[in-house]
């Protein structure tokens, strides 16, 4: 009979030698530390919090003192996986100073926001990420841009460490994978991603709970916000680009937290024959726009986001740009036209 661990390795998307190299290095660091901090990027998403929670439970099983602290509060739809993890949200922080910091799903140290302030200068930083735009800022940098989610790397780490994959760990990692693949419809849905998801279901991932809280729990206010946002939907560049806008007035009118609007980014690109979708959302800071880009048909929106100091993946990226909604929309459209849609 094939052992559980070997069964997993049959569909490992990462080379065994690569996994062993990083896991050995990480385990040696963990053995010598007293306090571990886990953190991620601002405006946490499913991959970020799912990876954090799974790693938290896994490291706790090794007997280490572990905390999670983030710059941003957890979106309402993701709170259900954090109940046993005790996540700090800045300015609330753990009392103990960490000597090892795991930074997950975060391409740059700046994307940590104010959490940067609580990382001791002498702390060892372990950067685990799947963004092609990673800046390799850690003392250890396990970056695998060919996997569907950071959660897939965390699964590799925990399995190689011989950590038992409990239902809580499996549920958190399934959230990471299912959200970053857009329910397995995005182009990053690989055979390995589906096999990892099946493995997690076999180990107790609560699929019905995930479906209920993440995809079937829209509040009345969110549906009203959808209605207001759809009124802003526009087509550009010979109908190859679609834009959608969210204003602060819309959020205030519907009483929806900006953290709960992540799924809106998938609406514009879902239109038939559209290759690039753009969500533009006013931020709390005046004249600052959060831009979320989604694409298909081979168009690289990571390159577009990088023009504005952002980044992400080929088919999903983001950035923040100064200006009004109209001004920023035109800036993005100009770059899209020049970089992606210029007549050849």
Report domain extents, the chain.
Answer: 4-214, 220-339
Rounded CA gap, 179 and 176, in Å?
Answer: 6
Per-residue pLDDT tens over the stretch 242-263: 999 999 999 999 999 998 898 8
Peptide bond just before 91 cis, omega within 30 deg: yes
With CA atoms as reference, report the closest residue to 134 among 116, 109, 100.
109
Residue 312, classed as helix, strand or coil, is: strand
What are the residues facing 321 on neighbouring strands? Answer: 289
* Tokens coding 198: 């099946």
Q: What is the largest CA-CA distance in the chain?
A: 62
* Tokens coding 137: 């800022």
Residue 260, classed as helix, strand or coil, is: helix
Rounded CA gap, 259 and 186, in Å?
Answer: 21
DSSP state of 123: P
For residue 14, the model assigns a pLDDT of: 58
Sequence-ordered alpha helix ranges (H) in the chain: 4-9, 16-31, 46-60, 150-160, 167-180, 191-202, 207-210, 220-230, 248-254, 301-306, 325-339
For residue 1, the model assigns a pLDDT of: 29
Rounded CA gap, 8 and 221, in Å?
Answer: 42
For residue 161, the model assigns a pLDDT of: 95
For residue 263, the model assigns a pLDDT of: 85
What is the pLDDT of the chain when averaged over all its residues? 91
**Which has the higher per-residue pLDDT, 344 or 185?**
185
Per-residue pLDDT tens over the stretch 66-93: 999 999 999 888 999 998 888 999 999 9
Q: Considering the domain 220-339, what is its CATH architecture?
A: Roll (3.10)
Domain over 4-214 is classified CATH 1.10.760.10: no
For residue 311, the model assigns a pLDDT of: 87
For residue 325, the model assigns a pLDDT of: 97
Per-residue pLDDT tens over the stretch 201-244: 999 999 999 999 988 878 899 999 999 999 999 999 999 999 99
pLDDT score of 15 more than 90: no
Per-residue pLDDT tens over the stretch 145-203: 999 999 999 999 999 999 999 999 999 999 999 999 989 988 889 999 999 999 999 99
* Tokens coding 208: 């019905």
């Amino acid at each position: 009979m094939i052992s559980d661990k070997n069964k997993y390795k049959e569909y490992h998307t990462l080379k065994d030698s690569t996994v062993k190299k990083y896991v050995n290095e990480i385990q040696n660091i963990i053995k010598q530390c007293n306090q571990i901090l886990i953190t991620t990027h601002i405006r946490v998403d499913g991959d970020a919090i799912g990876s954090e929670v799974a790693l938290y439970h896994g490291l706790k099983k090794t007997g280490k003192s572990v905390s999670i602290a983030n710059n941003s509060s957890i979106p309402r739809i993701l709170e259900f996986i954090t109940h046993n993890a005790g996540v700090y949200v800045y300015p609330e922080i753990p009392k103990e100073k960490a000597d090892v910091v795991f930074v997950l799903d975060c391409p740059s140290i700046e994307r940590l926001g104010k959490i940067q302030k609580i990382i001791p200068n002498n702390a060892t930083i372990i950067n685990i990420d799947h963004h092609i735009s990673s800046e390799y800022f850690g003392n250890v940098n396990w970056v695998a841009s060919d996997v569907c989610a950071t959660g897939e790397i965390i699964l590799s780490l925990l399995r190689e460490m011989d950590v038992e994959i409990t239902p809580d760990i499996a549920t958190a990692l399934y959230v990471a994978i299912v959200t970053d693949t857009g329910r397995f419809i995005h182009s990053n849905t690989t055979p390995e991603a589906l096999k990892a998801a099946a493995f997690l279901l076999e180990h107790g991932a609560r699929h019905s709970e995930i479906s209920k809280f993440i995809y079937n729990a829209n509040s009345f206010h969110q549906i009203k916000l959808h209605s207001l946002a759809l009124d802003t939907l526009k087509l550009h560049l010979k109908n190859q680009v679609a834009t959608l806008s969210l204003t602060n007035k819309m959020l205030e009118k519907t009483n929806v937290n900006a953290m709960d609007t992540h799924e809106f980014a998938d609406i514009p690109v879902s239109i038939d024959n559209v290759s690039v979708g753009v969500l533009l959302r006013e931020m709390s800071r005046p004249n600052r726009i959060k831009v979320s880009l989604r694409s298909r048909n081979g168009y690289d929106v990571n390159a577009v986001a990088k023009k504005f100091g952002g980044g992400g993946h080929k088919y999903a990226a983001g950035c923040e740009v100064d200006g009004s909604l109209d001004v920023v929309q035109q800036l993005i459209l100009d770059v899209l036209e020049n970089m992606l849609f210029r007549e050849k």
